[in-house]
Amino acid sequence: MNKIALITDSTCGLPKEYVDKYNVKVASLKVLYKDKEYIDGVTITPEEVYSRLEEELPTTSMPSVQDVKSLYSELEAEGYTHAIVLPVSSGLSGTINSFRLASEDFSNINTFIFDTKILSMAVGLIVLEVGKMIEENNDFDYICNRIPKIRENLWMYFTVDTLEYLIKGGRIGKVTGGIGQLLNLKPIITMDENGSYTNHSKVRGSKQAFNKLSSLATSILDKGKGKVIVMTGTMHEEANKLKETLEKHINTTFMYKGTITPAVGIHSGPRLLAVAVMLEQ
């Protein structure tokens, strides 16, 4: 009988209740300070990272091939025959390559690795759908064929107060800054076809940025039933307001508001507000 493992990485920020419910295996990124190394979201909290940003901007490192091999060894010992891997976008991290290389040494575990081309709890929405399908004992090939279709119905948009962190972290992609910073123009950022950040639009001021995110999410929900995620670093008041606005929509079937993990926040900055919507099929 097939036994399917469901794997993601720590940038997903999947709440523990869902990790436990669907027995999700999580490969952790590391947060690196000059004098110490932490495990993303495990040995250091988002709040601890954000409170120290003015003192030091840490770096991150993806799970090593050896880290992933250790995870696979555990799967092998637990009798898993198949694995579905849903990592952060290849356009933002090399994490997917660690999975590809490590899985080659475990040919006894049939592995499907999907480039989500998205990040944070937007990946989590895909993980939850796959978790349900595994729980319902769906066939491995059926689930793998469904995943690209799920991704086609998933959108994510976010705004940041400053592009400083995206620039420092090398994650600027096709997002442009320049004079916009002086004019108080706020970028509305989304993902391009390669899973990198790209500019969707620009608006003037934080209030208009909030309204734009709300409008984009609402226009998707107007098309049908959907699940909604709202994420932030430290903009909890705005995130709660966006959550309250969108959960009132008649087509919202699931709502979760959370905090981005340190490994994400280091590159985006804490003043981030994001929304993701996945239409049900």
pLDDT score, position 31: 95
pLDDT score, position 184: 76
Distance of alpha carbon 208 from alpha carbon 273, whole angstroms: 12
pLDDT score, position 268: 87
Altogether, the residues listed in the chain come to a count of 281
What are the start and end residues of each CATH 3.40.50.10440 domain in the chain?
4-28+63-149
pLDDT score, position 168: 72
Three-state DSSP state, 237: helix
- The architecture of the domain spanning 154-279 is 2-Layer Sandwich (3.30)
Pair of tokens at residue 192: 């391009």
Distance of alpha carbon 69 from alpha carbon 225, whole angstroms: 39
Contact call for residues 276 and 258 (beta carbons, < 8 A) = no
pLDDT score, position 177: 55
The DSSP code for 63 is: P
Q: Which residues of the chain have pLDDT under 50?
A: 179
Q: How many CB atoms lie within 10 A of CB 222?
A: 11
| Torsion, Cα of 129, 135, 139, 142 (10° steps) | -10
CATH number of 4-28+63-149: 3.40.50.10440
Contact call for residues 272 and 166 (beta carbons, < 8 A) = no
Instruction: Read off the pTM.
Output: 0.94
pLDDT score, position 22: 98
The DSSP code for 9 is: E
Q: Which of 127, 242, 149, 264 is nearest to 197 (CA)?
A: 264
What are the start and end residues of each CATH 3.30.1180.10 domain in the chain?
154-279
pLDDT score, position 269: 86
The tens digit of pLDDT for each residue in 7-60 reads: 999 999 999 999 999 999 999 999 999 999 999 988 998 889 988 888 899 999
